[in-house]
């Protein structure tokens, strides 16, 4: 004859049954596709690389953008473009549009790689500086037109007249006769400039 179960035995049996029941009700978790990663390295990368690892990274963001666009129309996973630290020098703007967005419910993300600091810049390096005295330097910029000048990361003052304050403030205009009106004192100040100063000012200031 079987012995009746004790209260403790019944509790254990009931708890086990509940665990089995709960496990049966848990939904099956869907399998998510792995994220597709591209890597860009402005120092050691090359646009002839596939860009699929840090060792085979692209050199430019434009190359990564082209790779993303090649698979964007039929995405099966999210795409992450990882930008390694360094300066990305641009000669033209990077335009992101609908062809750079995710499809099929997936996203495209451009991000810094593991806390590194990528710098996207359209700046140009000016070389050939020569001293002209009084702590001033000059260099040829050719046809380059710019508004800001940085020296060792610090914004510097471009060639200008006058060096301090303001001058040649417009007082009025005559559209019919195509005339601009300034104070006579400002004209006399300009006439006191030497020809060399006028050429330097005109050539150095965009």
The torsion angle over the Cα atoms of residues 36, 50, 84 and 68, rounded to 10 degrees, is -50
The tally of domains found in the chain comes to 2
Same-domain pairing of 41 and 106: yes
Parallel, antiparallel, or unpaired for β 118-121 and 149-151?
unpaired
Same-domain pairing of 191 and 134: yes
* Separate counts of helices (H) and strands (E) for the chain: 4, 11
* Residue that has been written with the tokens 């703007």 in this structure: 93
Domain boundary among 61, 91, 121: 121
Domain boundary among 85, 101, 121: 121
> Under the phi-then-psi rule, with left for phi > 0, alpha for psi from -120 to 50, and beta for the rest, what region is 77?
beta
Same-domain pairing of 175 and 110: no
- Residue 28 maps to a domain: no
Same-domain pairing of 115 and 172: no
Burial class for 65, CB neighbours closer than 10 Å (0-12, 13-18, 19+): buried
- Threshold 0.85, pTM exceeds: no
Domain of 90, in residue numbers: 36-121
- Residue 111 maps to a domain: yes
Note down pLDDT in tens along the chain; length 206 residues.
Answer: 555 555 555 455 444 443 433 334 444 444 445 689 999 999 999 999 999 999 999 999 999 999 999 988 888 899 999 999 999 999 889 999 988 988 899 999 999 999 899 999 988 888 899 998 888 888 888 888 888 888 888 888 777 766 666 666 777 888 888 887 777 666 655 555 444 333 333 333 33
């Amino acid at each position: 004859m079987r012995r009746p179960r004790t209260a403790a035995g019944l509790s254990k049996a009931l708890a086990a049954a509940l665990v089995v029941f709960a496990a049966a009700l848990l939904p099956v978790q869907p399998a998510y596709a792995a994220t597709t990663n591209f890597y860009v390295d402005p120092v050691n990368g090359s646009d002839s690389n596939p860009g699929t690892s840090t060792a085979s990274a692209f050199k430019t963001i434009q190359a990564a953008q082209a790779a993303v666009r090649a698979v964007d129309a039929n995405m099966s996973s999210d795409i992450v473009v990882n930008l390694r630290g360094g300066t990305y020098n641009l000669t033209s703007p990077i335009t992101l549009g609908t062809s750079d967005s995710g499809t099929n419910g997936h996203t495209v993300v451009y991000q810094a790689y593991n806390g590194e600091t990528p710098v996207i810049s359209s700046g140009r390096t000016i070389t050939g500086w020569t001293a002209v005295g009084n702590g001033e330097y000059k260099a040829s910029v050719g046809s380059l037109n710019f508004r800001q000048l940085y020296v060792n990361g610090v914004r510097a003052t471009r060639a200008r007249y006058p060096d301090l304050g303001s001058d040649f403030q417009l007082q009025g205009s005559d559209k019919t006769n195509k005339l601009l009106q300034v104070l006579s004192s400002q004209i006399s100040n300009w006439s006191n400039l030497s020809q060399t100063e006028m050429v330097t000012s005109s050539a150095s200031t965009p």
